[in-house]
Chain A
Amino acid sequence: MSVTTVMLCGVGGQGTILAADLLAKVAAAEGLDVKLSEVHGMAQRGGSVDTVVKFGEEVFSPVTDPGMVDHLVAFEIIEAVRRVHYVKPGGRLLVNPSSIHPLPVLTGDLPVPHGLQAVLESEGAVFIEADVLACQAGSPKSANVVLMGALAYGLPFSQDAWCDVIARRVPPKTVEANLRAFELGRGACQKGECAL
C-alpha cells in the first residue's frame, strides 16, 4: 500500500487537531505506519490551521506539499479554497460550507469573498453540512467528527476501529453524540456520491 495523505484544514479552535488524532489512531489500530503533523501556539488563536495525517506501509515526511494530498477535509469554506492547490488531480475534497469570517473581513478592511462554493464545485468538492449534522447529532461541537465520518467513507478502515477510537478519545459524556455525528457524516457522504 502506498502512502495516503490527508489534510485537515480550518480555523484554530474548530477541532482539527482532535479529528486528526482520531484518524491517526484508527490508521495505527489497523496496523499501518502513521505520521501526523500539527502546529500549536499562536496559530490556535483563531488563525488558519492545517493538520496532516499520512499513513501506509512506511511513512517518512510528516509534512506534505502542494499537489500531494489525497483527501482534503476543510472545516471552513475560505480555508478550503486556501488549500485547494494541495489536492492531487483526482484527489478528494470534502468541505463544510460554513464560513467563519477572518477579522479583516469582520472589521470591513477587506471584502467578503464571494463565489467560493462555485470555485470548489468546479474542483469537484463534496459539501458536508457538518454544523447542521452536528446539531442533529446532539452536540454542535461534534462537527469535526461529522467530517471524519464523511472522510471514513472512502478509506479502507473498519467501522469498529473508528467507533472504538472515538469512544476512547472524546469526553465520556459526548460519546453517544459523537458516534451519531460520525454516522451522519458517513451517511451524508454516501448520499453525496462521495466516491474517490
Chain B
Amino acid sequence: MVRILLSGNEAVAHGAWEAGAAVGVGYPGTPSTETLERFAKLEDVYAEWAPNEKVALEVAAGVSLAGKRVLVTMKHVGLNVAADPLFTLAYTGVRGGLVVLVADDPGMHSSQNEQDSHNYAAFARVPMLDPCDSAEALAFTRQAFDLSEEFDTPVLVRSTVRVSHAKTMVELGERMRRPAPSAYATDPAKWVMMPAMARQRRLVVDERIEALCHFAELTDLNRTEYRDTSVGVVCAGVSYQYVREALPEASILKLGMTYPLPRDLVAQFAAKVERLVVVEEADPYLASALAAMGIAVSDLDLPKAGELSPGAIRRAFGLPEPELREADTSLPPRPPLLCPGCPHRPVFHALKKLSAVVTGDIGCYTLGALRPLAAMDTCVCMGASIGMAHGVGIAGGVGDRPVVGVIGDSTFAHSGVTGLMNTVYNGGAGTILILDNRITAMTGHQGNPINGITLQDRPSHEVDLVGLCRTLGVPRVRVVDPHDLDATRTALEEETAEPELSVIVFRAPCALLVRDKGDPYAVDEDACTKCAACVKLGCPAIGRDEQTRYAYIDTSICVGCGQCVQVCKYDAIVHTGPACDLGRP
C-alpha cells in the first residue's frame, strides 16, 4: 500500500480508476476540476472534456450503455445543466457503472450560488454518497461503481470545497480487473424512455429506492459512534470532521450515504441519545428529512448560509470561545482582479466609455464588473449573457444605451451557441462579444472546442468561431485584437451603432499563457501629468504614489503588454530594460 497526501478530487479520480472505470468525462468547474485532470493521467483510461455537463453526462450514458464503467465530474451548478439526462437516467439505469462527482461550493468561493446537491439526489431519486475526507472520497467512489451496477442506477458522489480541495492521507490500491461487458442486446423497455416504457421504469425506480433503503440500514457507509450520549449529532461529509474537533465526546451518526436515508438506524440512534441535533452546511437537507420521518431534532443556532467550521459548532453549543486578538477591520479589501496583461481589460475599458448595458457571463472576465472597470451589469449563469442581451433588446432596450453581451470562448461553447441561434432566429439585434482568450482560464487552463486542445492531447479540431457565427446567420462578424485599444474602441463604436446583430470576436491569448513577457514599462515623472488615465485600466501593476500622485508601475509584475502606453496621452509610459529589482513596495 502506498500512503500519500491527496486532495479529495484526486482521490475520487483514483477511486474511479481502482474501480476499473474506463472513461472519465466532465466540464471544468471549481471545486471539481482537478478530478478529471488527475483521472486523465492515470494508466489505461480515456478521458475528455465535454463542452458542457449535459453533454458530459450523455456521453457517459453511452459509455455505460456499451457496458464500461464511467466517471463524470462537474461542479454543483453544472448538475443543473446535466439535470435533464440525470432525471431520466434514473429511470433507465445503467449497464456499466456510472458515477457522477458533483462538487458543491458552500461559502461561494468561486460560484454564483450555494445550491445544495443533496436535493438533486432526492429529487432525481439517485443514491448519493458523501465522503468526509480524501480516504473516503477514494473508497466511496470505488464503492459507488459497485452500487451503480448492483442497483442498476447512476450514483452521485457529493463533495464540497473542503473535501475537494483539502489534502489528507490516502492509501492507494490496485486497479480492479473488469470482466468484458456481456453481449449487447437492444433493450427498449429499459432504454427507450417514451411514455409506455417510462411508466414501467417509474415503478422500477420505486422498487430500487426501496431496496436501497434496506441497503442503507446495513451498509458500513453509515456508522454510529457512541461516546457521551447526552448529545447525538447526525452529520455527513466534512461537517463530520468539524463535529469531531468541536465536540470530541459527542455521539455521532455519520451518514456516508445521504440518499436514501436509513430510517431505522436514525430512529435507533435518536432513541439512544438525550438530545439529537443535525449539523450540516447549506440547506437543512438532513434536518428536513428527519422531521419528515417524525424524528424530533432539537434546534441548533448554526449559520444558515456559508461554510461551517469547528468554531461555528462550538458557538452553537455555547462552548467557551478562544481568546482573540483584536481584528483590524479598517483594512482595504482585496478583491480578485484581472491579471497584468489580461486581454479582457481593454474591452471593459472601452465598454465603460461606451456606457453600454452589458450582460455578462461566467469566467475570469466577470471581474470586469468590479471597479475601476465596472463595466458589467449582470452575471447569472453559463450562457445567460446572450439570452439576456436579446431580452433587453426585445423589451425595448434601456434608454438609448447600446446593449452588449459579453461571453468567453469556453462559455460560448458551453451554452452560448444556442442563445446566439435564438437571437438570429428571432431577428434580434445588439452586439455580442466573444472574448476568445484561447483557453478555459478561470478554472486553471483547460482545453475546449474553441481552442481544439483535448484533455489527453489527442488530435482535434478548432472551432472556426467566425464561420460558426456566420453559419448561424449573424449578419456582422469581425475579429479584433483587444490589445489594440484604438481598434477595440472603434469596433465597439461601429458595431453598437449598427441596427443589425453583430458579433465581435476579441482574440488574444490569456496573459498567463504568454511565455515571452515583454520588458516592463515605467513612468517618466517628467512627462506624467498625474491624470491617472492609466490607473483607470485597473491593472494591478499600476498605482499612484500616495504623496506625489504620479503614476507608477510595479516592474516586478508588469508583463510589458503596453495597454497603458496606449491610454497615456503624454508619452509618459516608457520602456525600461529587463526587470532588475523588485519594483516598488
Contact = CB atoms under 8 A, between A and B. Distances in A.
A6 B34 CA distance: 24
B396 interface: no
A53 to B, nearest CB: 9
A119 B331 CA distance: 12
A108 B30 contact: no
Interface string A36-60: 1111111111111000000000011
Contact of B309 (A63, A78, A119, A123): A63
A132 B33 CA distance: 35
B244 A60 contact: yes
B334 A112 contact: no
B383 interface: no
Interface in B109-138: 109-110, 133
A43 B110 CA distance: 7
A41 B532 contact: no
Interface in A14-49: 21, 24-25, 28, 33-48
B275 interface: no
Interface residues of A, number: 63
A41 B30 contact: yes
A146 interface: no
A109 interface: yes
Contact of B311 (A66, A113, A135): A66
Interface in B300-336: 307, 309-312, 314, 321-328, 330-336
B309 A104 contact: no
Given A35-B168, A101-B543, A68 B585 contact: no
Nearest to B242: A61
B337 A103 contact: yes
A36 B5 contact: yes
Q: How large is the interface on B (under 10, 10 to 19, 20 to 34, 35 or more residues)?
A: 35 or more
Given A65-B311, A66-B311, A68-B311, A102 B335 contact: yes
Contacts of A112: 546
Nearest to B367: A45
B332 A102 contact: yes
B582 A131 contact: yes
Contact of B538 (A12, A41, A68, A103): A103
Interface of A: 11-12, 21, 24-25, 28, 33-48, 59-68, 78-79, 81-82, 84-85, 87-89, 98-113, 119, 123, 131-132, 135, 140
Interface of B: 4-5, 30-31, 33-34, 109-110, 133, 161-162, 165-169, 238, 241-242, 244-246, 307, 309-312, 314, 321-328, 330-339, 364, 367, 370-372, 442-444, 532, 535-536, 538, 540, 542-544, 546, 556, 582, 585
Given A62-B162, A62-B168, 13 more contacts: A34-B5, A39-B161, A42-B442, A47-B336, A62-B166, A62-B241, A68-B311, A78-B332, A103-B371, A104-B371, A108-B535, A111-B546, A113-B332
